[in-house]
């Protein structure tokens, strides 16, 4: 053990300390208060639960903070726990701007402190004690009221905002997800996490957690404590199509006018293979459609010559998702094939506008036909 340094004299510079303590990941809040007819708010991560009975928290605020001054004056404040899409808000409330609240929807608690709409949780607090420590005030506060909604928190780690990933190891989550997408709908009613773990050579507990995380994504369902593979909700599929379109649009811009005659011939060949698989409003062979349609799209993405991009595209797992949504009863349309033809022709004539327009329509078409199918089902 090294010798203890003199009490209160640190061996660390301010920057060293910040760098080290920055490893302590936290959530992010906006503390708000109203004093002298003005609203105050500051981004703060130094917020900690203190006592359960009575419910109390600690917040630490720099003595230079105008929000700290307002809290001292009002004796009350609110905690707004930020959700993962609130990084812009967190950035704004970390400034000294006068109009931080402009355009931010909020309500008020019983002490008039602003409660930001969309925050994951709100706490209404009364200051109990105030202590000075170094550059900061420490407030020990009573929690008078609170409310929470579902969602994911904004996280802060080493000076950057991010998302919090709950327990399943990210790599296990990835292999479980990939495997489930490969399984398609050809799976028994129940998913046994121990069997799956043996197959994937992963820790059963990790696999169980990964399945739990995939419930949130809509890829797995939980019924009476067991996991099952439900049909994929439409929003999940359409969300993937939106991502597919974003990738294909980028590829289109990069590759049009730069493909060789051989590549064009391959693309045309793959396109023709998709053509026979739609008859009127029916997929004649859903499995063959899914396979050939994917081969065609994947080939277009491969034209960009980027393995990372192709890998990202494959990660979307579209064939697996489609196997869990497309059946012979699914409403099809020959215009899906016409789109493929238009894409090849756009490449052949180097018509970027046509290509982008077609890709865009192609991505929204499944959504449109699903709506139509639903309406026809309802009126039948
Ligand atoms: C992620 C993050 C966390 C922060 N946490 C705190 C904190 O816990 N306490 C604090 O005094 N300042 C904290 N700050 C800095 C304040 O948000 C910043 O100084 C702000 O300008 C103060 O505004 P005000 O003077 O209007 O109160 C944090 C900033 C960021 C970006």
pLDDT digit string, tens, across residues 149-173: 878 899 999 999 988 765 567 788 8
Residue 188 has a pLDDT of 53
- Residue 156 CA: which ligand 1 atom is closest? 1
| Residue with CA nearest ligand 1 atom 17 | 94
- Among 94, 134, 136, which is best to mutate for testing ligand 1, by the most ligand atoms less than 8 A from CB? 94
| Beta carbon of 96 within 6 Å of any ligand 1 atom | yes
C-alpha angle 91-95-96 in degrees, rounded to nearest 5: 160
pTM > 0.85: no
CA of residue 68 to ligand 1 center, whole Å:
10
Residue 47, C-beta contacts closer than 8 angstroms, at least 6 positions apart: 27, 29, 31, 57, 58, 59, 79
Q: What is the 9 CA–ligand 1 centroid distance (Å)?
A: 25
pLDDT at 139 > cutoff 50: yes
Percent of the chain with pLDDT over 70: 91
What does the pLDDT read at residue 235? 78
> Looking at ligand 1, which atom is closest to the CA of residue 46?
8
**pLDDT confidence of residue 373:** 64
The pLDDT assigned to 252 comes to: 96
- Per mean pLDDT, which range of 186-190, 233-237, 247-251, 349-353 is the poorest? 186-190
- Residue 227 pLDDT > 50, yes or no? yes
Band (pLDDT 50/70/90 cuts) for residue 1 is very low
pLDDT band at 83 (very low <50, low <70, confident <90, very high): very high
Token pair in block for residue 107: 């309500």
**Is the CATH code 1.10.10.10 the one for domain 170-229?**
yes
Pocket test for ligand 1, best of 47, 65, 82 (most atoms within 8 A of CB): 65
Give yes or no for residue 72 having a pLDDT over 50. Answer: yes
* Whether pLDDT at 122 is above 90: yes
pLDDT of 2 > 70? The answer is: no
pLDDT top residue among 365 and 300: 300
**Shortest-distance atom of ligand 1 to CA 100:** 26
Fold of 14-157: Pnp Oxidase; Chain A (2.30.110)
pLDDT at residue 300 is higher than 80? yes
Q: Is 35 in the pocket of ligand 1 (CB under 6 A)?
A: no
Tell me, rounded to whole angstroms, the distance of Cα 333 from its chain centroid: 32
Question: What pLDDT sits at residue 234?
Answer: 75
Residue 149, pLDDT score? 86
Ligand 1 and 283: CB distance under 6 A: no
Residue ranges of the domains in the chain?
A: 14-157, 170-229, 234-379
Q: What is the average pLDDT score of the chain?
A: 88
Q: How far is the CA of 43 from the centre of ligand 1 (A)?
A: 5
The CA-atom distances, in angstroms, between 23 and each of 17, 94, 157, 158 are: 10, 20, 6, 6
Instruction: Answer yes or no: is pLDDT of 53 > 50.
Output: yes
Q: 326 vs 17, 281, 285, 329, CA distance in Å?
A: 56, 13, 10, 8
Whole-number Å distance, alpha carbon 111 to ligand 1 midpoint, is 22
**In angstroms, what is the span from residue 154 Cα to ligand 1's centroid?**
15
From residue 337, alpha-carbon distances to 9, 257, 277, 295, 366 in Å are: 74, 22, 9, 14, 13
**Lowest mean pLDDT segment, chosen from 77-91, 124-138, 271-285:** 271-285
Does the C-beta of 71 come closer than 6 Å to ligand 1? Answer: no
Q: What is the pLDDT of residue 141?
A: 98
- Give the nearest ligand 1 atom to 70 CA: 27
Cα 320 to Cα 10, 198, 199, 200, 228, distances in angstroms: 57, 21, 18, 18, 15
Nearest CA to ligand 1 atom 31: 94
In angstroms, rounded to a whole number, what is the distance separating the alpha carbons of residues 154 and 133? 27
Distance CA 323, CA 287 (A): 7
Using CA atoms, how far apart are residues 68 and 40, in angstroms rounded to an integer? 9
Residue among 254, 230, 249, 273 nearest 361 (CA): 249
* CATH of 234-379 among 1.20.120.530, 3.40.50.410, 2.60.200.30, 3.30.70.2860: 1.20.120.530
32 lines ligand 1 (CB under 6 A): no
Residue having the nearest C-alpha atom to atom 10 of ligand 1: 61
Atom of ligand 1 at shortest range from CA of 44: 5
What is the predicted pLDDT for the residue at 329?
Answer: 64
Minimum CA distance residue for ligand 1 atom 4: 44
């Amino acid at each position: 053990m090294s010798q203890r340094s003199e009490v209160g004299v640190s061996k660390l510079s301010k920057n060293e300390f910040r760098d080290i303590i920055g490893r302590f990941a936290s959530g992010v809040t906006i503390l708000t208060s109203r004093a002298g007819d003005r609203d105050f708010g500051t981004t703060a991560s130094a917020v900690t639960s203190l006592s359960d009975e009575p419910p109390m928290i600690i917040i630490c605020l720099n003595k230079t903070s105008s929000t700290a001054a307002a809290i001292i004056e009002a004796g009350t404040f609110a905690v707004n726990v930020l959700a993962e899409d609130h990084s812009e808000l967190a950035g704004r409330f970390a400034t000294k701007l006068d109009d931080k609240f402009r355009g931010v929807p909020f309500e008020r608690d019983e002490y008039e402190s602003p409660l930001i709409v969309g925050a994951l949780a709100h706490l209404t607090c009364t200051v109990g004690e105030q202590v000075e420590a170094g550059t900061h005030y420490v407030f020990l506060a009573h929690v008078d009221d609170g409310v929470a909604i579902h969602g994911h928190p904004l996280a802060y780690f080493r000076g950057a905002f991010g998302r919090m990933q709950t327990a399943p190891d990210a790599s296990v989550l990835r292999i479980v997800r990939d495997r489930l997408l490969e399984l398609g709908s050809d799976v028994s009613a129940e998913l046994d996490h121990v069997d799956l773990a043996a197959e994937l050579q992963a820790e059963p507990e990790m696999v169980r957690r990964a399945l739990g995380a995939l419930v949130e994504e809509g890829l797995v369902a939980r019924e009476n404590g067991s996991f099952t593979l439900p049909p994929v909700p439409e929003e999940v599929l359409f969300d993937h199509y939106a991502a597919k379109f974003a990738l294909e649009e980028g590829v289109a811009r990069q590759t049009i006018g730069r493909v060789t005659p051989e590549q064009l011939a391959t693309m045309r060949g793959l396109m023709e293979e998709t053509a026979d698989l739609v008859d009127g409003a029916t997929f004649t062979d859903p499995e063959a459609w899914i396979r050939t349609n994917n081969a065609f799209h994947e080939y277009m993405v491969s034209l960009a010559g980027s393995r990372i991009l192709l890998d990202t595209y494959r990660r979307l797992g579209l064939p697996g998702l489609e196997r869990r949504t497309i059946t012979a009863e699914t409403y099809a349309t020959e215009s899906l094939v016409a789109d493929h033809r238009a894409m090849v022709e756009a490449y052949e004539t180097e018509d970027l506008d046509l290509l982008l327009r077609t890709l865009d329509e192609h991505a929204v078409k499944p959504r449109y036909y699903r709506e139509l199918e639903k309406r026809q089902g309802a009126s039948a």
